[in-house]
Structure 1
Amino acid sequence: DNNVFTQIGLIVLVGLSAKNAILIVEFARELEFAGRSPLQAAIEASRLRLRPILMTSMAFIMGVLPLVLSSGAGSEMRRAMGVAVFAGMIGVTAFGLFLTPVFYVLMRKLTGNRPLKQHGEVPHVEAFVSADNTVPHGAGGGALPAPANKLKDL
């Protein structure tokens, strides 16, 4: 069934899948700044973001379950959107967790692994570094990256 409600559900899926991919890529970039290779950074970023992505996705899937199971007046509309979003979110989560790191590494190889430019501070990697500047088990690379210069007022 491809009606306006299904299409709205697909737009929601695009937004949620983009959010999940951005989380993984953002952490992978920060881990590269901390000294990891693109492959190591992508794997570690996927591992670090697995639980939050799964929790968000499962909460969303359980939230649309009443739409899938609806009955009564107007249930056709609710069911059309619910089924599209319910099944789509399962697929988007499964494929996104595996394909986002793959595409990150492929794009880094296609660009010749040229050095990344740092914009702003790197708060996420700092969260995984203890006070003595060592990294807890599996949470990033060596020392902290130097923060970027602040933008001057125009």
Structure 2
Amino acid sequence: MISEVFIKRPITAIVISLLLVLIGTIVLTTLPISQYPNIAPPTVTVSGTYTGADAETVEQTVTTPIESQINGTPGMKYLSSNSTSDGRSAITVTFDVGTNIDIAALDVQNRVGIAEPALPEAVRRLGVTTKKANNDILMVLGLYSPNGTYDQKFISNYVNLYVKDALLRIPGVGDVQAFGQPFSMRVWLDANKLARLNITPTEVSTAIAEQNSRIPGGTVGGPPQNSNQTFEFSVILDGDLN
């Protein structure tokens, strides 16, 4: 028997084993990745945000309506969801191994579009995103200012403007999440003053949104002015809480 040969000659068995490992390592570095078998099932992630809502409200008004439409997508194996207390909803749809991820993402996106009319206005305004990405974290990068020249908000804004888009363009990267704090504004309301002025929080939010909009200012000297007009000036208005 072959096994008896290796048992009686351990040195020969060790040499053959080392040769097999060496040959396998050399071949592994030359094989194209595209020919590797697909082991992990493809996943599509659907996410949305309901600002100010608790986890139960997000579950009932955002996650459940989307899940009811996504359920039954062709090739779907199972789905999992997570609703957090900060208003975020994340649904991960896992498909069978070998499923075309592009077609699967399109099918999920179409079903999310059917569920969008049933979602709250605040969720539709922020948008519901569908991405071909796995929730598993591949790499964590940390950016900092060596001499403390820039604070955390500046670095976070720099990452969102320049670094994040560059990473998303790398082949194979499905999503990039920045954990820093982007520039934003928080408004505290005085309930007594609101009651005195007979103003609701919705009216305050609407007024802030109107001040944060960009509207066109038009042109001076443009059509239908006289064709002999020499100069034409564009009017730029302040906006975005500027």
- Tell me which protein shows more helix as a share of its residues: 1
Q: TM-score higher than 0.5 here?
A: no
Relative to the length of structure 2, the TM-score reads 0.21
Structure number with greater CO (CA < 8 Å, separation at least 6) is 1
Pick the structure with greater CA Rg.
Answer: 2
Higher fraction of strand: 2
Given the two structures, how large is their TM-score scaled by the length of structure 1? 0.30
